[in-house]
Copies of this chain bind each other. A is one copy, B any other.
Amino acid sequence: MTSSANQQKILVAVVGVGLVGSEFISQLLSIPPQVSHFKLVSLTSSSKTLFAGKESPITPNAQWKSKLAESTAPADLKELTTKLTQLVAEKERVALVDNTSSEDVAALYPVWLKAGIHVVTPNKKAFSGEAALFENILAASRESGAKFLNEATVGAGLPVIAPLKELVATGDKIVRIEGVFSGTMSYIFNNFSAGKPEGPSFSSVVAVAREKGYTEPHPADDLNGFDVARKLTILSRLISSAPSATPSTLPSLQSFASVQTASLIPPALEGISTGDEFLKRLPEFDEEFAKLRVEASKENKVLRFVGVVDVANGQVRAGLEKYPVDHPFATSLGGSDNIIMFHTERYSPRPLIVQGAGAGAAVTAMGVLGDLLKLV
């Protein structure tokens, strides 16, 4: 009998069974049961809940999709909370995995944490939303000892949050975090700005990115920079809230809207309601973007849409910046990769760099499952 088989298994309830949710369930169930530390006890879609319970958990061969479809119980997070709280009372270790991007689900984290239920999620809403919610999450976790883990909120499966926590917890001083945090923005500018004055038009690159599924249905939802602002908020709060940190020089962010974000949406195109209409009008602004590319090229630079948490200067900002053609953001970056540089007291003058795919169901689900494994 191995120690893993002896150890108490963690009971897992999954909320959200879309692309990331399905892939997560598939990865979780592919761990051979004899070495798995988990029992999958519940699934909740937007319409239904399946509560299998700890005695008859959902197994690899269980055809979970059809079972969930057959369930007669409506999606009811209040009822789910009651059942999971009961399991905690029975001395079980319980984790809720939120694979949605819902604000309503995020609003429940403090309730779950207070009840002793661990929360693991790729959902950015809670950690980048209102400061009060974030503080309630911290307080609830401190109170009960239940953990909240959110590696997959920044860079999907890339090691970003865990290494940052480790840097801070071991006493390193973060000077600046700087990166390309959006796979969409990465793809767009890797293709639009390669160091030469000429190249494809901005609108054509955005159109191709949309065809390939790299953008949201409405490209303005990427070009507004909000996704990057949310990720920066998460990193910035993580630095500021670390228990051993010296008083942070970072601004206290009321929400991701407090990040200085330079949107790429031309003001004249603000508020256009459909992606198609937006793309039809975008060529009117190709000349403006082309001018920026020429200017960058004159300085032997490329354009990249980056996020910066500048601890030294107390600034959190997202926007288009210029980088020399021999900078890793120009030379090493490609495809729709994320790249993140940690400039710290110890990693100086050369930063710690992490790079790779920062979006997609498989790597996002991996980031979530990786967090769950940290609870073992």
Q: How far is the CA of A369 from the CA of B169 in the complex (A)?
A: 9
Which residue of chain B lies nearest to A361 when distances are taken between CB atoms in the complex? B346
| Residues in chain B near residue A363, CB distance under 8 A | 346-347
| Residues in chain B near residue A356, CB distance under 8 A | 342, 347, 350-353
Residue total for A at the interface (Cβ-Cβ under 8 A) = 55
Most chain B C-beta atoms within 10 Å of own C-beta, residue among A143, A366, A373: A366
| Residues in chain B near residue A3, CB distance under 8 A | 141-145
Interface status of A126 (Cβ within 8 A of chain B) = no
A335-376 CB contact bits vs B (8 Å, 1 = yes)? 101000010001101111111110000110110011001100
Q: Across chains A and B, which 7 residue pairs bring their CB atoms closest together, nearest first?
A: A3-B145, A352-B356, A331-B331, A166-B370, A353-B355, A159-B159, A35-B243
| Residues in chain B near residue A337, CB distance under 8 A | 350
Contact call A334/B350, Cβ cutoff below 8 A: yes
Q: Which of B6, B145, B171, B326 contacts A30 (CB 8 A)?
A: B171
Q: How far is the CA of A256 from the CA of B357 in the complex (A)?
A: 32
| Residues in chain B near residue A244, CB distance under 8 A | 30-32, 35
Contact call B170/A366, Cβ cutoff below 8 A: yes
A309-353 CB contact bits vs B (8 Å, 1 = yes)? 000000000000000001010011011010000100011011111
Min C-beta distance of A352 to chain B, whole Å: 4
The B-contacting residues of A in range 133-186, CB under 8 angstroms, are 141-145, 157-159, 162-163, 166-167, 169-172
Taking A3-B145, A167-B366, A350-B356 as given, write out 7 further A-B residue pairs in contact, using a Cβ cutoff of 8 Å, ordered by the A residue number: A4-B243, A7-B145, A31-B169, A170-B373, A331-B332, A352-B354, A374-B374
| Residues in chain B near residue A7, CB distance under 8 A | 145
Contact call A347/B352, Cβ cutoff below 8 A: no
Q: How far is the CA of A363 from the CA of B347 in the complex (A)?
A: 8
| Residues in chain B near residue A352, CB distance under 8 A | 157-158, 354-357
Interface status of A273 (Cβ within 8 A of chain B) = no
Contact call B353/A357, Cβ cutoff below 8 A: no
Interface status of A72 (Cβ within 8 A of chain B) = no
